[in-house]
Copies of this chain bind each other. A is one copy, B any other.
Amino acid sequence: MFNQVTIIGLGLIGGSLGLAIRRKRLARRVIGVSRKPSTLRRATRIGAIDEGSTDLRRAVSGAELVILATPVDLIVSYAKRIAPWLQPGSLISDVGSTKATIVQALEHRLPRPVAFVGTHPLAGSERRGIDAASATLFDGSLCVVTKAAATNPQALARVRRLWSRIAGRAVVMSPREHDQALAAVSHLPHLVAFCLMGATNHGALMLAPRSFLDATRVAKSDPDLWDDIFLTNRIALARALRQFQRQLDRTKTLLSRADRAGLRRFLKHTHALRLTL
């Protein structure tokens, strides 16, 4: 599908992406970029990349597609930096967890013949780094590919085809739709996990059953990664949080009134919704 793909950032996602692209033969060559030579050596050894480099310019030159797999707050600056070094018709894509800020910042700001298409593969783990990378991380998962006003249709189609092959399903959404949905189904549950930990005293934690461990599992995720995600998507997240707080207030009222019928209706409704997933 591609001659050369360059992946910038070889963490869990970048590394797994390299493994998947090479395993499925979706590119002739995969070049990896990391600031740490040890990461490049490790990525080469596990077969995530054909070749690694710490030199950004050298690594992107000749790439048909550059995928930015860095922390979200670095994506825009990297994209702007590399764009002038790419050949006309090249693509830049990213795998960041929030999309509106990134797409807005890049759509009209790149040199004309280079197209940007944002994506967000909905796969991950609370583990991170190249050592957690896996060729099957994206198997059976879903990837969101964003379409905004200025998105180049051919570029969108190519990136979408790539992700259909890697993840199985690729759906197209506007960056705003993506951010609102992700705020609700990913960023909010993460925030809730951190807040559950903050609200629970030491003695009670000793009794924590599986329900608590499951509900707070994602609080094991890297805080340095999540403060960026929360802040980049803070408008949509605040909205999802308000909706969630309304549900909490509603059940608090039902409890204070000991309204068994109302509580049961609410539980039955949300229980039935959960069974559809």
Contact = CB atoms under 8 A, between A and B. Distances in A.
A45 interface: no
A238 B255 contact: yes
A275 to B, nearest CB: 6
A213 B276 CA distance: 11
Contact of A248 (B185, B195, B207, B223): B195
Interface residues of A, number: 83
Interface in A141-168: 142, 144
A206 B224 CA distance: 28
Contact of A213 (B227, B269, B277): B277
Interface string A235-268: 0011011011111101110011010100110111
Given A214-B217, A263-B231, A271-B219, A244 B208 contact: no
Contact of A247 (B144, B185, B199): B199
Contacts of A230: 251, 255, 263
B196 A244 contact: yes
Given A194-B271, A198-B270, 7 more contacts: A195-B270, A198-B273, A220-B274, A226-B267, A230-B251, A241-B248, A245-B248
Interface of A: 122-124, 142, 144, 177, 180-182, 184-186, 188-201, 203-224, 226-227, 230-231, 234, 237-238, 240-241, 243-248, 250-252, 255-256, 258, 260, 263-264, 266-271, 273-277
8 contacts: A124-B211, A184-B201, A189-B212, A191-B248, A194-B270, A223-B271, A227-B267, A234-B256
